[in-house]
Amino acid sequence: MADNAPEAPAGSVATADSDLDILARQTAVEAREFLATVTEVATGESPGTAIPLLLLATSQLLLAGARLGAIEDVVPEERFEPDPGPDADLDPLRTNLANLLEGLDEYADVVDPVTTPELAQGSLSNDLADIALDLSHGLRHVDAGRTIEGLWWWQFSYLSSWGERAAASLRVLQSVLKHLRCDADEETVASAEFDALHP
């Protein structure tokens, strides 16, 4: 009888689970890369590269988030989220980023461009630390073997919190970089061009 059992159709649960496992592993890699970059930047050892590195890391993370937003809702295996343990203490990261970004940290933010277009005050250091907290929460599920649970958490938190914070941060980082690169004094730029052409 077993030999005559029909094969699982394409798009079966097994295939879907396999695709979700692959996506979860990819997202875990991207989450770890973001956390590593933000942690490295927060040390303050290379302040001259902080903005470009954060811009790149946030852009790459938003690509991972877009994948999560584009798929159907992930359904966790348990009805209630298993306790992954206490959240990581990211206050030192938040403080170090605030110190590093002093003078650039606060920005004008739109509460919700669709429903509540009023302005509020945002903070890059708070955004980046909150994103890191959401990502590390999902990583604890994945590291404990609860891959789908981790993917569910990343998708839920992307749609409800870190996707919006990352998008706002990216806009601010790009704006800061634009001002750093494009607002230079014309005389300074001309002098640099002359030096480059006449070594």
For residue 37, count other CB atoms closer than 10 A to its CB.
18
- Domain assignment present for residue 70? The answer is yes
Domain with 175 in it: what CATH number? Answer: 1.20.120.1550
- Domain assignment present for residue 7? The answer is no
Q: Going residue by residue through the chain, which has 199 residues, state the pLDDT in tens, using 9 for 90 and above.
A: 444 433 433 333 335 568 899 999 999 999 999 999 999 999 999 998 999 999 999 999 999 999 999 999 998 877 777 776 777 789 999 999 999 999 999 998 888 888 888 888 999 999 999 999 999 999 999 999 999 999 999 999 999 999 999 999 999 999 999 888 787 666 654 555 555 555 5
| Max Cα-Cα span within the chain | 86
- Domain assignment present for residue 91? The answer is yes
The 3-state DSSP class for residue 121 equals strand
How far is the C-alpha of 118 from the C-alpha of 141, rounded, in Å? 36
- Domain assignment present for residue 99? The answer is yes
pTM across the whole model: 0.80
Structural domain count, the chain: 1
- Domain assignment present for residue 4? The answer is no
- Domain assignment present for residue 2? The answer is no
For residue 145, what are the domain limits?
Answer: 13-197
- Domain assignment present for residue 1? The answer is no
Tokens at residue 163, please? 């996707």
86 vs 113, 133, 136, 138, CA distance in Å? Answer: 34, 11, 11, 12
